[in-house]
Chain A
Amino acid sequence: MNFLRTLAFVLFLAFFSAATVGSVEIEISSPGEQTIPLAITPLLPIDGVKQGIAEEFQQVLENDLDLSGLFDLVDPASFLSDAKKLTLSSTEVDFTQWRLLGAEAVLKGGYRFEGEKMIFELRLYDVISRRLLTGRRYIAKKEDVRRIAHAFADQVLLSLTGELGPFSSRIAYISNRSGQKELYLMDVDGNKPLRLTAHRSIVLNPDFAPKRKELIFTSYKEGNPDLYRKEIYTGRESRLSLQEGLNIGGRYSPDGREVALTLSKDKNSELYLIGTDGSLHKRLTKHFGIDVDPSWDPDGNRIAFVSDRRGNPHVFIIDVHTLEVTRLTYEGKYNATPAWSPKGDRIAFSRLEGREFNIFTINPDGSDERQLTFGPGSKEHPRWSPDGRFLIYSLDRDGNKAIWIMRADGTGARRISAPGGDDTHPAWSGRW
């Protein structure tokens, strides 16, 4: 219910809604190759009454935009007089000053209070063409400062790349910080962690429903590893699949109508499709080997999965309609946890070499394999952001497991989950 209230801020498209097509559009798929010099000015009080929320807003927004890899932030120490002026219209901005500093875009804004309500006016200007790229007004409660910053970061990415950012979505993960493995939810920057389960057992491997605010996961709560479904806002929870043996690795189909998972009711792990009522729809694999870790392609026609049918664990792809199986990975001796990108163009997976996993991506036809992570520690469980810009994963290093985020090309890696427990198995929600 907390989140419901938090979400209850109203989004207003401000003036010039047609101005989303910027003059500085850049290639989305190659962050880091071309960066935009961006000046983020401190928020100013519209009615002159300072409220100490500008700092938190700026920190959240800067962190998001820095993570995107699309920007070079202009040093605030060099800002001139225009940074101290509240200019909510492009005609008032002194673009010459910003040009002088080399900024190509400038972000400005103000806030004011109306009783309990907090009103943010936010603007992104194109310095070169001297016009508004995107303008937004947010009306919310005071505790929603971070939400507004994330929402505007998403808009900034939309106006500059043509695609919304993922910063308003959520990340589910498994943590043992209560003593047992339970399901948690947090913001994309690791803030506002919230425990969702109290099973006092072992909770594993969550996945978000594509359209509803709902998660599936495996839990030993009733002794057997069963698949559970949980509505996030109501907290309502039920067992979705309780076949004898394993009910693990559940993944919603892109249309949300089915769940692919591993069942071992045949005394061997096989991939199945079940309905959202738990009924068995279709057995996908028939092999004495281990078949686990399904991940749907965004069209819902194919599923990448892990099998040891050729000896070592490798990633295979099965056609959901014809049940034809093709092998995806040939390199390495242990490839696991495939994650098909939301655009369908890449499949991320982790490869065990020696004692440690690293994260790789590969084309669905098996070409162009690339290693994304290097260095000490084991990196597992890669999952994509809903826009395909980022990957989250768990890093096991120095006896501690934490959730990390990086860009899809492996750059910009940083820790997001807070210290205080072992955090694994992240899953990224769809648009929230």
Chain B
Amino acid sequence: MQNWSTRLLLMLFVLTLLVAGCAKKPVAEEAVVEEKAEVAVVEEQPTAAIVEEQVDEAAAARAAAEEAARAAEAAARAGLARIHFDFDQYLLTDTAKNILENNAKLLKAAPVVKVKIEGHCDERGSDEYNLALGEKRALATMNYLVSLGVSADRLSIISYGEEMPLDPAKTEEAWAKNRRAEFRVVL
């Protein structure tokens, strides 16, 4: 109590001094500083509607799963890599098998994704033969993915033969590029 009244007295005293000091200052000599009124326009914001939700732990899990599935699908879309074949061959090379193992992982992580496997050939060879060869390539690719655990009903095949080259040049490099199987996500 004692302490409190002492502090109050002290504060009153300081305040008195300050007021006295101010009053003594000459006023007329001051240059007029016109301050621009800074008008802050505060637009009235509509009050945010209050969302009231029941906390449902299963839904949260579902959303998280959906998010994960979307991510897996996006990963599959972006990550499914094409494979290449030797001339007049539909046997999978070791490189192709490695790529397919990764593709299978991506597909197993994204179980809703359906994929059409396109078989392609280089321009050499007869058109009809290449249509059949392209189909064999697509089929070999599909069978390997199935052997790696990808469900067969998610996979379909089509052959375009030599009709859709990646590179139209007539070089060994272009031909090697064009002998391929591609993965198209069809959902």
Contact = CB atoms under 8 A, between A and B. Distances in A.
Interface in B149-182: 157-160, 163, 170
Interface string A173-203: 0000000010000000000000000000010
17 contacts: A202-B163, A204-B127, A245-B157, A246-B159, A262-B131, A267-B139, A292-B131, A292-B132, A293-B128, A308-B129, A313-B126, A334-B88, A337-B126, A350-B126, A352-B124, A352-B125, A381-B127
Question: What are the nearest 7 A-B pairs in CB distance?
Answer: A336-B126, A269-B132, A292-B128, A290-B132, A249-B128, A293-B128, A337-B126
Given A292-B126, A306-B126, A337-B126, A264 B132 contact: yes
A34 interface: no
B158 A425 contact: no
A267 B138 CA distance: 11
Q: Counting chain B CB atoms within 10 Å of each CB, which of A223, A290, A350, A381 scores highest?
A: A290
A314 B128 CA distance: 13
A248 B131 contact: yes
Interface in B93-137: 124-129, 131-133, 135-136
A334 B159 contact: no
B129 A336 contact: yes
B133 A290 contact: yes
Interface in A372-399: 380-381, 399
B129 A306 contact: yes
A272 to B, nearest CB: 13
Nearest to B171: A355
B128 A306 contact: yes
B139 A313 contact: no
Contacts, number: 76
Contacts of B136: 268, 290
B128 A225 contact: no
A290 B170 CA distance: 25
Contacts of A425: 127
A313 B170 contact: no
Nearest to B135: A264
A134 to B, nearest CB: 41
A225 B129 contact: no
B158 A224 contact: yes
A341 interface: no
Contact of B135 (A202, A245, A355, A424): A245
B129 A290 contact: yes
Contacts of A220: 160
A161 interface: no
Contacts of A334: 88, 125
A249 B157 CA distance: 19
Contact of B170 (A246, A268, A312, A355): A355
A306 B160 CA distance: 19
B159 A225 contact: yes
Nearest to B87: A334
Nearest to A290: B132
Nearest to A267: B139
Interface string A256-286: 0000001010011100000000000000000
B158 A313 contact: no
A361 interface: no
Q: Counting chain A CB atoms within 10 Å of each CB, which of B126, B129, B158, B160 scores highest?
A: B126
Contacts of A159: none
Contacts of A350: 126
Contact of B125 (A181, A336, A381): A336
Nearest to B116: A223
B125 A262 contact: no
A120 B113 CA distance: 69
A335 to B, nearest CB: 9
A391 to B, nearest CB: 16
B77 to A, nearest CB: 20
Given A264-B159, A306-B129, 15 more contacts: A181-B163, A205-B128, A225-B131, A246-B131, A246-B135, A246-B159, A262-B132, A269-B135, A290-B132, A290-B136, A293-B129, A313-B129, A336-B126, A336-B129, A337-B126
A97 to B, nearest CB: 54
Contacts of A262: 128, 131-132
A347 to B, nearest CB: 15
Nearest to B123: A396
Contacts of B135: 245-246, 264, 269
A293 B126 contact: yes
Contacts of A355: 124, 170
A255 to B, nearest CB: 23
Contacts of A245: 135, 157, 159
Contacts of B133: 290
A303 B132 CA distance: 18
Nearest to A291: B132
A424 B170 CA distance: 17
A399 B170 CA distance: 9
A169 B128 CA distance: 26
B181 to A, nearest CB: 15
A223 B131 CA distance: 14
A11 to B, nearest CB: 38
